[in-house]
Amino acid sequence: MPVKETMLDILHLHIMEPTTVFTNLIMGGLCFVFFNRLKKEPVHYKLGSNWKFFFLFMGIASIIGALTHGLKSYFGQDDYYFVWLLMNLAGIPCSYFLLQANIELSKLNQELKKKLKLTSIVLTAILTILVIMLNNFLLVKLNAGFVIGLTLFNHFKTYRSGFIGSGFILLGFTISTSSLLVHGLKISYSEWFNYKDISHVIMSISLYIIFLGVMEKMKLAGLETEKAR
């Protein structure tokens, strides 16, 4: 059964899907907090740098998503197309920096890591061009699905090997996959708390758990740096 679209008027501002807007803003706000915290880590921690930008662009994508949902009644067809394109484009660097973090975490030699990083840059550029041409969210979802699958595999291996922080990151991304199920099956509590809102809540929880794992890895990196001095 289709979920009825909600709306709310605040100070003459017509907001569509207000709960979806609110949960998007919460998720975006959390990502900016995580980004700001990781900014305080030493710049030579490459792993932290990749995660920092992952959270930054996830936050940007969430805020654009909030605007897209909330203000769509003000957009003409061309305006909505442009805003939707911005949201799709904002999702690409999230996957890119997540992929870079996976490459950095791997036990591959530095030469192979450089080649993989270069390959990921080329593939990301191709994906960006395709998204600009087609403005298709499916491309972004397929790319994100591949990178998340790789992340689950990578952190499962490192968790089994006793890497600090990998357990949290593995748990966070595992929880996040349930949001795909909720969204795909349109599981809703009510029209005011629908499948989009539930997905955003799940994602916010999973992002917090992932952040805890990243911070654990940053603490370990700090200890190893101190020992090396």
Whether residue 75 is contained in a domain is answered as: yes
Contact 200, 144 (CB under 8 A): no
State the CB neighbour count (10 A cutoff) for residue 212.
Answer: 16
- For residue 205, give the CATH number of its domain: 1.20.1070
**The pLDDT of residue 222:** 57
State the CB neighbour count (10 A cutoff) for residue 176.
Answer: 21
Whether residue 169 is contained in a domain is answered as: yes
Contact 31, 58 (CB under 8 A): yes
**The pLDDT of residue 224:** 47
Whether residue 1 is contained in a domain is answered as: no
**The pLDDT of residue 131:** 92
pLDDT in tens, the chain (229 residues): 566 788 888 888 889 899 999 999 999 999 999 999 998 877 556 667 899 999 999 999 999 989 888 888 888 778 878 888 888 898 899 999 999 988 887 777 788 888 888 999 999 999 999 999 998 888 888 888 889 998 999 899 889 988 888 999 999 999 998 988 888 888 888 888 998 999 999 999 999 999 999 999 888 765 444 444 4
Contact 93, 113 (CB under 8 A): no
Number of domains in the chain: 1
Residue 179: name the closest of 63, 27, 17 by CA: 27
**The pLDDT of residue 1:** 52
**The pLDDT of residue 181:** 86
**The pLDDT of residue 226:** 40
Taken in order 73, 76, 77, 80, is the CA torsion positive or negative?
negative
Whether residue 2 is contained in a domain is answered as: no
**Domain residue limits at 149:** 7-228
**The pLDDT of residue 44:** 52
